[in-house]
Amino acid sequence: MMETLQQASVSEVIKAAAWQFRADVFRGLRAQNKVLPCKYFYDEIGSALFEQITKLEEYYPTRTELGIMQRHAAEMAGLLGPNCLLIEYGSGSSVKTRLLLNHVLDPTGYIPIDVSGEQLRCSAHALEAEYPDIDVLPLCADFTRPLNIPGCRKPAVRRVVYFPGSTLGNFTTGEAIALLRQTASLCGSDGGLLLGIDLRKDPRVLEAAYNDRQGVTAAFNRNILVRINRELGADFDLDQFAHRAFYNASRVRIEMHLVSRRDQIVRVGSMPFFFAKGESIHTENSHKYSLPALTDLAEASGFTMERIWTDARQYFSVAYFTRGHSVKDSVHSERGGSRTFLPRLEAIPVTL
Ligand code: AVJ
């Protein structure tokens, strides 16, 4: 059953988010090497475009991860154990989550977290109907910010964060470690992290996945400019920015850029920004991991690698990290409130 959370300042939260978007865009476009944070891809249109990407022949990650989940969800659920509170980072359409929820024994609750409010509301609604015994408590938030995890009716034995979709790949190593350390603290000493992450492979396979023939990825990339045009009153000419995605071997990542086709001035509100011909806006990194690199990541973040599942081609992996015997941490009490606190403007509990 879904509870309705009371939050006095939802409109304030929305205003703060809009202000943050403007600040991030201005800072990114003023920088020496222009950059836009990839989390801003996911407005309603961007989320729909990403759903389309996941169905492309060239884009192997989603269906590969789904295959791993289909094959091993029961075993994963066994490791998670009974009565866990499942928290999901970047829940999107929650397709993979269903595979887990079908096997986890009496979860006390499911907390999907996503920046895309509309999609979150829709998928949480559907899940609530499908799993009437589970408290579904969606949070519209940026999961890199401190989170206040709402309490459920039943106390949880452990908190498990499910972080699928290779979203962690969007973070640099330093950012990834910071996020996972925060996650370790969020889920406590008995907690776990189930992480879905893309693996290193033939660069031709990688580059094809981000340069699909239908141009859906190009549209997804340009949509961030469409969003800036609409929400910040800018005049980006979409035809004057080329989609570019390539494998950066030394940094082990796919990079996406939007490259200016000519010298041009773009106005965001009344603020002009100059683009030289060939100058790029760096819009996304998608880091690719090796299995040893994943173990290192776990260790650097206060976790222990418990188990790892991959597909036959070793294209993608799902890893289960626990707190093992690493950093000591206090035990969480579901009722006693969490160690992290909620700055008022960080998260919108979604009311259904
Ligand atoms: C959603 C972060 C997994 O990095 O592959 C897809 C997003 N960008 N095509 C990825 C994306 C271009 C994606 N993740």
Q: Is 110 in the pocket of ligand 1 (CB under 6 A)?
A: no
Q: State which ligand 1 atom lies nearest to the alpha carbon of 209.
A: 9
State the DSSP string of 88-123. EES-TT-HHHHHHHTTSSS-SEEEEEES-HHHHHHH
pTM above 0.75, yes or no: yes
Coil, strand or helix at 184: helix
Helix (H, G, I), strand (E, B) or coil at 283: strand
CA 130 to chain CA centroid, Å, is 23
Question: What is the number of other CB atoms lying within 10 angstroms of the CB of residue 18?
Answer: 12
Q: Which pLDDT score, from 0 to 100, does residue 95 have?
A: 84
pLDDT score of 347: 57
Query: Could you give the dihedral angle defined by the CA atoms of residues 40, 45, 51 and 57, in that order, rounded to the nearest 10 degrees?
Result: -100
Q: How confident is the model at residue 149 (pLDDT cuts 50, 70, 90)?
A: confident
Is 170's C-beta closer than 6 angstroms to any atom of ligand 1? yes
CA of 1 to the centre of ligand 1 (A): 32
pLDDT tens digits, 274-320: 999 999 999 999 999 999 999 999 999 999 999 999 999 999 999 99
What angle is formed at CA 43 by the lines to CA 152 and CA 134, rounded to 5 degrees? 20
Residue 276 to residues 28, 114, 184, 255, 265: CA-CA distances in angstroms?
16, 35, 44, 20, 9
Q: Is 93 in the pocket of ligand 1 (CB under 6 A)?
A: no
Does the CB atom of residue 165 touch ligand 1 within 6 A? yes
Q: Is the CB of 53 under 6 A from ligand 1?
A: yes
Q: Is the dihedral of CA 205, 43, 346, 269 positive or negative?
A: positive
Nearest CA to ligand 1 atom 4: 286
Residue 321: burial class (beta carbons within 10 Å; 0-12, 13-18, 19+): buried
Query: Which sign, positive or negative, has the C-alpha torsion 14, 168, 52, 94?
Result: negative
Q: Into how many domains does the chain fold?
A: 1
Q: How far is the CA of 155 from the centre of ligand 1 (A)?
A: 35
Pairing of strands 316-322, 192-198: antiparallel
Distance 342 CA to ligand 1 centre (A): 29
- Domain CATH number, residue 211: 3.40.50.150
Domain that holds residue 223: 1-352
Q: Ligand 1 within 6 A of 47 CB?
A: no
Task: Please list, in sequence order, all residues whose beta carbon lies within 8 angstroms of the beta carbon of residue 191, skipping any fewer than 6 positions away.
Answer: 158, 159, 160, 161, 184, 322, 323, 332
Angle between helices 216-232 and 10-30 (to 10 degrees): 110
- 112-141 burial, b at 16+ Cβ within 10 Å, e below that, comes to bbbbbbebbbebbeebbeebeebbbbbbbb
| Per-residue pLDDT tens over the stretch 205-222 | 999 999 999 999 999 999
Q: What pLDDT is stored for residue 73 in this prediction?
A: 96
Q: How far is the CA of 101 from the centre of ligand 1 (A)?
A: 24
Could you tell me if the CB of 338 is within 6 A of ligand 1? no
Q: How far is the CA of 286 from the centre of ligand 1 (A)?
A: 7
- Statement: residue 146 has pLDDT above 90: no
Distance 163 CA to ligand 1 centre (A): 14
- Ligand 1 pocket, residue 221 CB under 6 Å: no
Choose which residue among 213, 284, 287, 317 to substitute to test ligand 1 binding: the one with the highest number of ligand atoms within 8 A of its C-beta.
Answer: 284
Model confidence pLDDT, tens digit, residues 24-33: 999 999 999 9
Three-state DSSP at 253 gives strand
